[in-house]
A and B are shown apart, each in its own frame.
Chain A
Amino acid sequence: MRKLRITIENKSYEVTVEDLTESEGYPGATPVARPNPHSAAPVAAPAEKPVKPDLPIDSGAVTCPMAGSIKSILVKVGDTVKQNQPLVILEAMKMENQITAPVAGTVNSMDIAEGDNVREGHVLLVLE
């Protein structure tokens, strides 16, 4: 057990660090990586493995997860995007939902405009 002080953006946190490789009763048990769609807070998030898309994305189409209206579009055709980069803000269910890039790529085509009402499954844009 070690005590450490970490300062992030002028706020300091006292943390106790336990070395799990030696003392823990369950050696080798690794925390399971999970998708982190986007972190809302700039605070130190635990390190996570990059998320692999689990199923092959054959078309590169980014579809709408639920019915709503397009609040804003954050990219344009031709833009290069990184994985998990926000592409579109979809207003639905009392929320402004970020639609993020499932994979890195280039925006090939886009079939929406701000203010459009879209249905679930609607192809918002296509990544290449």
Chain B
Amino acid sequence: MVSLLDRKLWRDLLSLRGQIITIAFVVAAGVAVFVASISTFNSLQSGRSRFYDSARFPQIFVSLKRAPLSIVSRLAAIPGVAVVEPRIVRDVIVDWPNSLLPVSARMVSLSNGGDETLARLHVRRGTAPGPNETHGAVVNEAFAETNGAVPGTDIRVILNGRVQNFAVTGTALSPEYVYAVKPGAPIPDDRFYAVLWIDRSAAEAAFDMKGAFNDLAISLAPGVDQGPVIAELDRLLEPYGSVGALERRDQPSNRFLEDELDQQKVTSIIIPVIFFGVAAFLLNVTLSRQVAAQREQIAALKALGFSNAPLVAHYLKLVAVVVILGSVLGVVGGVAFGRAMIASYQGFFRLPTLTFELTAWSIVAGVGLSFAAATLGVVTELRKVVVLAPAVAMRPAAPLRFRRSWLEILLSSRLLTPRRIMVLRNLLGRPIRASLTTIGIAFAIPMVVLGLFWHDAIDAMIEIQFNLVERGNATVTFPHPLDRRIIGDLGREPGVLAAEGQRIVPVRMRAGQRSYLTAVTGLPMDGELRRPHDSRLRPIEISQDGITLTRRLAERLGVAPGDVMTVEVMEGMRRKRDVPVSAIVDEVLGMGSYMEIGTLNRLTGEGDVVSGAALFIEPSALPALSQRFRDLPVIESVAIKTYTLASFLDKIAKMLLVSAGILTTFAVIIAIGVVYNSARIGLQERARDLATLRVLGFTRAEVAQILLGEFVIEIALALPLGMLLSQGLIHLITQFYSNESFQIPGVVTAGTYFAACIVVIAASVGSAYVVRRRVDRFDLVAVLKTRD
């Protein structure tokens, strides 16, 4: 048996259906983002954890020059160390047919046919080469898929100027290369970077490493503090050319994955908060109108003996319907959104299983949060229901007190026609509601801006990094430091217009208790092809005696210009020197540092050497020259700016499009939700006045102008406010999102703001139009007989 109040609820819901649906959509958007972000976070995390566990992902990584296998037992004896896996790892060039650029590859030795004690391979196709199988190689799946390598494909590796053939035996995934990026490259490019695993016997022969190793993977016993272990490893391995042990958090692939997980957490908090806030406000306005319109009904019900509890429950049910409807839509949307996000991650992160797993508690929490926000939004209105005495409620509500506002005094009386005065006084008569409406509409702007902002940010990143900082169009690296004269030779290659030497040295920087393993780039003082820039995009002259740090690195080390820190060279003579910090620069990629090349060479004590070069090549000569570089043994790798950019943009374009599309939809939902609901409520409240004007001879358009005039003002105020909010939000997000791999510039272009305003105006105009059509359907006869 449906109770009387439930029947009333059903009718109220029917008459409010437009508002219920639009608010439910706002709730749905919040729940969807919440459920999708939490579930995506958990899916990524569990996909990663499963892989790390099953593949026995190491906790510590060390690379060194060369050490005899006999010391492995000493390393394994360090207290806390569980397993030590010695390996041979080398970066080589692959002669890949028809490739535009030389393909770089990392070769990693296997001791047990891929089923290693640490960093075990997950073989996807074929097999890994077994012990003593010297001509087989298993290749990472990303490279294999991008370049069409299948079991049986020949891979020609250039080893010390000789070509050695390997046959692909299979494709595999490794926990160390979930996100495979070439060392020193800012972004991954699967076309030109491969990981090849070969049997230890083959690696020993190829790299002349019989009975030796140059890389270690180490796992620790549970609960062991890695600090002392790392210190001991560094001490023991220093004589063997160790560049210092890396903890898991600094392992490049793992770091990218961690950064992405952190971003998911940010998304799952910021965006739902906006939606739940807007939904709370809309419910407040709607319910406030409903309670006002039903004053007499509430009074009559109370007079009939209904107590407060069922009446409050009655209005709470209305809220519950909105939340439930929104939650159902939100969960469905969240699953779709989450699946799309996971699908877009699949190209980035190579995990054996990365599937969308719906996190059950996120549904409970999402629905709970939206219900809490909605209830909070309506609590003042429910209080009104409770305190409303039947006798009071039988009388009409006290009319809204109107008065002249300060604005009318400021504005010329010629501008203030009675119709405009109506608009102004309606707006200022309910200042809180007008402000919240304006703020609500304003919040739609950052949604669009957030969607489109990434384009701007990436354009800015590209502009800063690839046009301001790296002004050449190609860089090459050498397998080991070479005499500076090589730069002159490169400069004479056909098509090379300018060549400048660079020296990249692995170092450990120490400042007080903090330390960081990184590389210093040595640049010529009058260098033109690579010029670091400061935060205001002015070129920084490299100081002759200090070190220039990127902002993130300076923050991590806690140093400022003028401070002195210790730089420990991790190769060659392994000198340790105190160096003053001469400047801090903002760069968008990585955690780099710069020194004048001569000063750096004096620090290492190696003389006048270079380890790479920045080149400016005549564009038409690029293809031929990159072919030629493939055949020069002195060149280890080549990066051509346009190719790097194209691959990067191609990879993220789809991801950006999806996120822009979703966020723009959200913006439309907010704008429609706010404008439609406010206009409907405005119409309900002023129906009698507006119909009176129609009877007096005002046209539909004139009457609609009075109704919608308020929104013109509110939207006009919301647009600049929304832009300000966008800036704040972008600032917040760039702070949260920026990590050690990327520094996101908080740049929003005028075009993005323009697009955001257009979207919000269009959504607002659309919803206002729907309401405006109701003006056409006014019952003019009824108005003659109705008391206010």
Same complex origin of A and B: no
